[in-house]
Amino acid sequence: MPIITVDGYELEVKAGTNLLDALLSRNIDVPYFCWHPAMGSIGACRQCAVVQYANKDDDRGRIVMSCMTAVTEGAIFSVDTNNAVTFRESVIENLMLNHPHDCPVCEEGGECHLQDMTVMVGHRNRQYTGRKTTFRNQYLGPFIGHEMNRCITCYRCTRFYQDYAGGHDLNAFGSRDRVFFGRAESGVLENEFAGNLIEVCPTGVFTDKTLSKNYTRKWDLQSAPTVCTGCSLGCNTYTSERYGELRRVHNRYNQEVNGYFLCDRGRFGSGYVDSPKRIRQAGMLNAAGLYDVVSKDSAIEHVRSMLANASKIKGIGSPRASLESNQSLRDLVGEDNYCSGMTNTEREMHAVILDVLRSDLNSPSMSEVENFDAVLVLGEDVTNHAPRLALSIRQATRNKSLKLAAETQLSEWQDAAVRELAQNQRSPLIVVTPMTDRLDEIASQSLRMSFGDITKLTQGLIDALTSDVSGEKQRAGSSESNEVVRGIIETLLAAERPLIVSGTSVGSPELLKRAANLAAALKQHKKTAGIFLCASEVNSLGVCLIDNHHSLESILDEAPEVVIVLENDLSLRLGHRFDSWIAKMPRLIAVDHLDHLTTSKADIVLPAATDPECEGSYINTEGRAQRSMAVFKPAGNIAASYHWLDALRDVTRVPSEIRAALANQFSELQVLDDAAPDEKFRDAGGKQPRMTHRSSGRTAMYADISVHEPKQPIDEDSAMAFSMEGNQNRSPSALRAYTWTPGWNSNQSIHKFQIEVNGSDVAANPPSFVFSDSESFCHYPRGNISNNVLIPQFHIFGSDELSAFSDELSQRVPLPYLRIRSEDAQRLGLTKDDGVMCDQVKKSTPLRIIIDDDLPVDCMVYPKIAELFELNGLDNASFVRIDGWHSPPAIITSDRTN
Amino acid sequence: MLLDMLSAIWSQLLTLAEVLKHTFTKADTVQYPEEMPYLAPRYRGRIVLTRDPDGHERCVACNLCAVACPVDCIALQKTEDEDGRWYPEFFRINFSRCIMCGMCEEACPTYSIQLTPDFEMCEYDRQNMVYEKEHLLISGQGKYPGYSFYNVAGKSIAGKDKGEALNESPPVDVRSLLP
Ligand code: SF4
Ligand code: SF4
Ligand code: SF4
Ligand code: SF4
Ligand code: FES
């Protein structure tokens, strides 16, 4: 490790890094704008200037940009010398020439990197008296606001949007002081990761519209470390509240999981918490088919008597509910009567993922995916089903350019140079899916096949690997498919670290099994080969682990008298079978937060807390146990599901006691406790704060109700307090409610909590993996390959159970469509934009026809959205044309063309 | 020693004379409430929210007063009208907590919140010390006439387009290729 001298002090720094990174890692503040820890340096803003001296006798030195300067042994720098200080002052003064007088009406204010840096540099008085440049703003969709006047042209936005996330519709336009960052024309920003612009832009150009409508400054937000429930990846988030309403979701850095970025489903999808469809009171179905509001006690009384009079009680758990809630249900109904709430197919698919995680196959974490230099995607629609992983796969394709850079002795952080060097050269990515995939554009090879054919292809690959690697041996099958197989094998074997990616969006356990077999076969040749399988929901693996018996289908076989459904809309899972299934259902008790088809069929509904309102443990698709903390106490009768279910048995347990019960029964779940400290944890005798120390309005917030300030709610479940008391700076990362350090009000303060820039959190809990990869992998025997004609297309907006209940996100849910090949359209007498409906289902929703000849033959595709739930699980369906139907306009520009 | 004593006695006599003098000066104490004292405009009494010269609410709900308040007795919530102006959906001051320190006025970037020379706010019921926006908002500009925040801010609102604020040039034509 080189030793450099900075302002007379010797510092040991990480080799191969740049000076800015090194200084920030050693806690020396240098102002910067364009450098980003995940995106490296381009030297665009000139704010990070320091002075470098040629040798000890050099007393003048020269100004260098610290982000563009490599640290070398013996180098001498000064951050504090007058030269550097005045240079930085003049840079920020220039950046601020045109800056509007907007802070009071700017959503960035109070967590603005530009404010922080201006204060840090000490620029106080405006000397410039000329006119300011102004810009017109654009409409960028329901999520992101645009206020172009505030731009300081650091280019972080386009670098993230285009280079990092692969977006096409955000660009820099114009010249000199007219440079404009936006779209060619007003319209929705299409990229699935556009929301990160809010955090990436160091100013208030891109702001969070969902926060702005009920805007609250960062210092007034009550927050908690949470886990995103949008998909199985379990990205780490900060969720924030004010006045009892959820305000926003921000990224929470976790080096091994999501790093600095989230997807837009996670960021903008938690509006369901305040949805008008939220169930806030316990309700009992009356004779008229309506619900009567009942008190907490009488609801519990009624359920108890219902349970007392029944001999056969079943409990249906939920992969989107926490392990604590599921266990509490299990304790109530008994383990033999508990079902994970998944269908047979879902359970079988997740069992494969469990097997893989328990086996000696190499299952990387999401951030490790970025280190694989060849990726084969088998059927999984990564971008729409496990969105954040797509961002990691995009970075994985950059390994080629990093390798080229290393050969030319260029450092990885020289972002512009490395990209220039590599041009369009990427590490191989092979995407084998039925539908056009968002990753196609960076794929070295895209193959369109039905899921059945993908399964066969996978088998072909296994055969090729296990029989004869060189592929010389004659095999059955067409020479064309042999060619494809040989090509893929060559690519995988040529790589240093090949990765197989698949997931449950394929809907076929057989495909997942063979993908696992393939990974095992590949591992015989490449020790480093890995496999990443994406589960369906945030806790799919958790519930699969604690339930060994039942599926939704089998629960009816035992003719139960009372069924308790926990946080689960069964209509989405059972699809067309739902109506007949629910008709056979005797008495139904639902514990849930939203009014959906299942809760509206229940005899008694108990209002459950949502994920941001209660503590919970989840196991993500990497097999990582994570804890999500309650952000605020919900009003009224709402309580955590586990508290409701425990109350039915007349017991009171804090979550850690329920986790202890889980750990007792499942030795693998002993790590649950490692995910975060339990409710007994104290720092200097106190709990961890959820509010900032600057939180305002305490003595006036509720003064309209009573001038006598209420006591803060007590949190018995965790070591966090609904209060500003405590030291957030010292909190363990799993209990840290926000990042803030003096002088660093924005999210850029994260480097103060990292061991070094991009390192792990200083107070991180050790990774808590549930599964030890000790068992050696057993190959799955070959099963039957089935092929459905009607297949669902997942959508980042609308395909999960909850986020579509959010006001803004619901605007991005696709309108119903049917994607068919032109010959099928001809056969059925349909043309583009015709309306059709399925005649096999009760609720006939019109679907717009999209002609897509990229689809494999004998495939029809519909969007997996709640509105079309009845199509779920149909292998085939017939559709009839609706005369005189006109399609409503699409809101995404690229959707208007196809 | 003797000198010290004499000087001490002299000092005592001076003090007595000074006190005696006050018997003949006019008393500062006034017969409040029959007689009202003069309070300077900058006196820190009852807080008001003011309007800009066009009669719009000045407050943009920036929350700076609330965060500056040492006793946390200001609470508000931002919302937006159809003109694009930010304004407080509710604005509440709990005067039973307020210490009339004037920090909120110092912090306010729009001259909205101002302390006035009115201190007569006593109530029998503490609950009546809670003032909502309807109690706080006056129809005038208060101590700082002529200031309108949106005339200097870059954010456009109905009636004030981009480029129309103080010291702004018209919005650039992004598609221009001129050097
Ligand atoms: S971007 Fe920052 S400095 Fe600029 S107006 Fe917004 S808060 Fe103020
Ligand atoms: S919009 Fe934001 S990120 Fe983009 S160049 Fe301007 S200041 Fe930088
Ligand atoms: S990728 Fe999944 S877990 Fe991560 S933010 Fe998106 S929805 Fe949430
Ligand atoms: S500081 Fe002024 S503008 Fe801001 S919220 Fe308070 S009164 Fe309104
Ligand atoms: S951060 Fe170094 S030039 Fe911008």
Q: Residue B155 in contact with residue A147, Cβ under 8 Å?
A: yes
Q: Are residues A311 and A378 in the same domain?
A: no
Nearest-CA neighbor of A541 among A458, A626, A643? A626
Q: What is the CA radius of gyration of chain B?
A: 26
Residue A101 placed within a domain: no
| Residue A896: predicted pLDDT | 58
Q: Tell me, yes or no, if A101 comes closer than 8 A to chain B by beta carbon.
A: yes
- Which protein residues touch ligand 2 with a CB less than 6 Å away? A 151-157, 181, 201-203, 205
Neighbours of A839 (CB within 10 A): 10
Q: Are residues A149 and A254 in the same domain?
A: yes
CATH number reported for the structural domain that contains residue A28 in this entry: 3.10.20.740
Q: Are residues A545 and A526 in the same domain?
A: no
Atom nearest to A181 CA in ligand 2? 1
Nearest-CA neighbor of A37 among A50, A22, A47? A22
Residue A760 placed within a domain: no
Chain-chain contact of A214 with B74 (C-beta, under 8 angstroms): no
C-alpha distance from A815 to closest chain B C-alpha (Å) = 29
* Type and span of the H or E element at A93: helix A82-95
Cα separations in angstroms, B133 against B77, B92, B122, B125: 11, 6, 19, 19
Q: Residue A619 in contact with residue A539, Cβ under 8 Å?
A: yes
Q: What does the pLDDT average to over B140-167?
A: 94
pLDDT in tens, A690-709: 999 999 999 999 999 999 99
Q: Tell me, yes or no, if A133 comes closer than 8 A to chain B by beta carbon.
A: yes
Q: Are residues A262 and A320 in the same domain?
A: no
| B98: nearest CA partner in chain A | A699
Which residue's entry shows tokens 């556009």?
Answer: A194
Q: How far does Cα A333 stand from its chain's mean position?
A: 33
Q: Tell me, yes or no, if B139 comes closer than 8 A to chain A by beta carbon.
A: no
What is the residue with the minimal CA distance to atom 8 of ligand 3?
A: A266
Q: Are residues A490 and A555 in the same domain?
A: no
* Type and span of the H or E element at A514: helix A509-525
Residues 679-708 of A with CB under 8 A from B: 694-701, 703-704, 706-708
Show the beta-strand stretches assigned E in A44-162: 49-53, 62-65, 76-78, 132-134, 144-146
Residue A277 placed within a domain: no
Q: What are phi and psi of A534, to 5 degrees?
A: -95, 125
| Residue A469: predicted pLDDT | 47
CATH number reported for the structural domain that contains residue A726 in this entry: 3.40.50.740
Residue A486, pLDDT > 80, answer: yes
- Ligand 2 centre distance from Cα of residue A50 (Å): 23
Residue A883 placed within a domain: yes
Longest Cα separation, chain B:
97
Pairing outcome for strands A847-851 and A817-820: parallel
Chain-chain contact of A101 with B97 (C-beta, under 8 angstroms): no
Return the residue in B92, B95, B155 with the most chain A beta carbons within 10 A, the one to mutate for interface testing. Answer: B155
Q: Tell me, yes or no, if A104 comes closer than 8 A to chain B by beta carbon.
A: yes
Domain count, chain A: 5
CATH number reported for the structural domain that contains residue A385 in this entry: 3.40.228.10
Contacts of A827 (CB under 8 A, 6+ apart): none
Ranges of H-type helices in B31-167: 64-68, 103-107, 133-136, 149-152
Q: What does the pLDDT average to over A652-677?
A: 94
Q: Residue A390 in contact with residue A383, Cβ under 8 Å?
A: yes
Q: Which residues of B touch A149 (CB under 8 A)?
A: 154-155, 162
Q: Are residues A514 and A393 in the same domain?
A: yes
How far apart CA A663 and CA A665 sit, in angstroms, is: 5
Contacts of A567 (CB under 8 A, 6+ apart): A318, A320, A321, A325, A591, A592, A593, A608, A641
Q: What does the pLDDT average to over B24-46?
A: 89
Residue A726 placed within a domain: yes
Pairing outcome for strands A720-721 and A688-689: parallel
Q: Are residues A680 and A735 in the same domain?
A: yes
If pLDDT is split at 50, 70 and 90, which confidence band does A474 have? very low
What rounded mean pLDDT belongs to chain A?
A: 93
| Residue B37: predicted pLDDT | 86
Ranges of H-type helices in chain B: 2-22, 64-68, 103-107, 133-136, 149-152
Residue A764 placed within a domain: no
Q: Residue A386 in contact with residue A13, Cβ under 8 Å?
A: no
For residue A714, give the amino acid letter.
Answer: I
**Residue A879 in tokens:** 């559709």
- Which protein residues touch ligand 4 with a CB less than 6 Å away? A 104; B 59-65, 76, 107-108, 110, 112-113
What is the residue with the minimal CA distance to atom 4 of ligand 3?
A: A235
Residues 102-131 of B with CB under 8 A from A: 109-110, 126-127, 129-130
pLDDT in tens, A792-837: 999 999 999 999 999 999 999 999 999 999 999 998 889 988 899 9
**Residue A500 in tokens:** 């197989």
How far apart CA A386 and CA A599 sit, in angstroms, is: 27
- Ligand 5 centre distance from Cα of residue A121 (Å): 14
The residue whose CB lies within 8 Å of the most ligand 3 atoms, and thus the one to mutate among A381, A388, A539, A611, is: A388
Q: What does the pLDDT average to over A456-465?
A: 94
Chain-chain contact of A133 with B172 (C-beta, under 8 angstroms): yes
Q: Residue A747 in contact with residue A199, Cβ under 8 Å?
A: yes
Nearest-CA neighbor of A223 among A781, A882, A731? A731
- By the 10 Å C-beta count (0-12 exposed, 13-18 middle, 19+ buried), A413 is classed as buried
pLDDT in tens, A565-605: 999 999 999 998 898 888 888 899 999 999 999 999 999 99
Nearest-CA neighbor of A613 among A588, A594, A596, A586? A594
Highest mean pLDDT among A307-316, A471-480, A578-587 belongs to A307-316
Return the residue in B60, B67, B132, B157 with the most chain A beta carbons within 10 A, the one to mutate for interface testing. Answer: B67
Q: Tell me, yes or no, if B63 comes closer than 8 A to chain A by beta carbon.
A: yes
Q: Tell me, yes or no, if B60 comes closer than 8 A to chain A by beta carbon.
A: yes
Q: Where is pLDDT greater, at A467 or A495?
A: A495
The residue whose CB lies within 8 Å of the most ligand 1 atoms, and thus the one to mutate among A102, A120, A152, A215, is: A102
If pLDDT is split at 50, 70 and 90, which confidence band does A478 have? low
Which residue's entry shows tokens 């150009």?
Answer: A205
For chain B, the straight-line distance linking the first and the last C-alpha, in angstroms and rounded, comes to: 91
Atom nearest to A106 CA in ligand 1? 6
DSSP single-letter state for residue A327: H
| A135: nearest CA partner in chain B | B171
How many percent of chain A have pLDDT more than 70?
98
Q: Tell me, yes or no, if B173 comes closer than 8 A to chain A by beta carbon.
A: yes
| Residue A295: predicted pLDDT | 95
| Residue A156: predicted pLDDT | 96
pLDDT in tens, A128-174: 999 999 999 999 999 999 999 999 999 999 999 999 999 999 999 99
Cα separations in angstroms, A880 against A528, A841, A877: 51, 12, 10
How far apart CA B48 and CA B112 sit, in angstroms, is: 8
- Nearest by CB to residue A102, choosing from B155, B170, B179, is B155
Which residue's entry shows tokens 């919140």?
Answer: B113
What is the residue with the minimal CA distance to atom 6 of ligand 2?
A: A151
Q: How far does Cα A186 stand from its chain's mean position?
A: 27
SS3 A204: coil
Residue A546, pLDDT > 90, answer: yes
DSSP single-letter state for residue A612: G
**Residue A723 in tokens:** 């209060």
If pLDDT is split at 50, 70 and 90, which confidence band does A273 have? very high
| Residue A476: predicted pLDDT | 52
A70-97 per-residue burial string, b: 16 or more CB within 10 A, e: under 16: ebeeebbbbbebebbbebbeebbbebee
- Nearest by CB to residue A147, choosing from B155, B168, B169, is B155
- Ligand 4 centre distance from Cα of residue B112 (Å): 6
pLDDT in tens, A381-402: 999 999 999 999 999 999 999 9
Q: Are residues A355 and A461 in the same domain?
A: yes
CATH number reported for the structural domain that contains residue A819 in this entry: 2.40.40.20
Chain-chain contact of A136 with B92 (C-beta, under 8 angstroms): no
- Nearest by CB to residue A699, choosing from B71, B80, B175, is B71
Residues 190-229 of A with CB under 8 A from B: 212-217, 219-220
Return the residue in B59, B74, B77 with the most chain A beta carbons within 10 A, the one to mutate for interface testing. Answer: B77
How far apart CA A452 and CA A455 sit, in angstroms, is: 5
What is the residue with the minimal CA distance to atom 3 of ligand 1?
A: A115
Q: Are residues A385 and A511 in the same domain?
A: yes
- Ligand 2 centre distance from Cα of residue A173 (Å): 12
Q: Residue A623 in contact with residue A770, Cβ under 8 Å?
A: yes
Q: List beta partners, residue B128.
A: none
DSSP single-letter state for residue A639: B
Q: Are residues A460 and A558 in the same domain?
A: no
Residue A9 placed within a domain: yes
Q: Tell me, yes or no, if B75 comes closer than 8 A to chain A by beta carbon.
A: yes
Q: Which residues of B touch A698 (CB under 8 A)?
A: 72
CA dihedral A313, A318, A323, A329 (to 10 degrees): -10
pLDDT in tens, A504-516: 999 999 999 999 9
DSSP structure string for A3-70: EEEETTEEEE--TT-BHHHHHHHTT-----SS-BTTTBB---S-TTEEEEESSTT-SS-EEEEGGG-B
C-alpha distance from B40 to closest chain A C-alpha (Å) = 28
pLDDT in tens, A197-226: 999 999 999 999 999 999 999 999 999 999
| A183: nearest CA partner in chain B | B174
Cα separations in angstroms, A647 against A148, A192, A310, A644, A715: 54, 41, 18, 5, 18
- Ligand 2 centre distance from Cα of residue A190 (Å): 18
Q: Are residues A509 and A402 in the same domain?
A: yes
- By the 10 Å C-beta count (0-12 exposed, 13-18 middle, 19+ buried), A776 is classed as exposed
* Type and span of the H or E element at B93: strand B86-94
Question: Rounded to the nearest 10 degrees, what angle do helices A344-358 and A509-525 cross at?
Answer: 20
Q: Which residues of A touch B73 (CB under 8 A)?
A: 697, 699-700, 703
Q: Are residues A460 and A512 in the same domain?
A: yes
- Which protein residues touch ligand 3 with a CB less than 6 Å away? A 228, 230-231, 233-235, 258, 262-263, 265-266, 387-388
Q: Which residues of A touch B69 (CB under 8 A)?
A: 696
**Residue A567 in tokens:** 């946080």
- Ligand 5 centre distance from Cα of residue A890 (Å): 40
Domain housing A33: 3-95
Residues 25-54 of B with CB under 8 A from A: none
Show the beta-strand stretches assigned E in A518-602: 530-534, 562-566, 587-592
| Residue B150: predicted pLDDT | 95
Query: How many alpha carbons lie under 13 Å from residue B14 in its C-beta half-sphere?
Result: 6
Q: What does the pLDDT average to over B111-121?
A: 95
Residue A473, pLDDT > 70, answer: no
- Residue A680 sits at the vertex; the CA angle it makes with A679 and A681, to the nearest 5 degrees, is 95
Neighbours of A684 (CB within 10 A): 7
- Ligand 2 centre distance from Cα of residue A260 (Å): 17
- Residue A864 sits at the vertex; the CA angle it makes with A789 and A842, to the nearest 5 degrees, is 80
Residue A318 placed within a domain: yes
DSSP single-letter state for residue A406: H
Chain-chain contact of B62 with A700 (C-beta, under 8 angstroms): no
| Residue A664: predicted pLDDT | 94
Domain end (from A535, A557, A580): A535
Domain end (from A724, A753, A782): A753
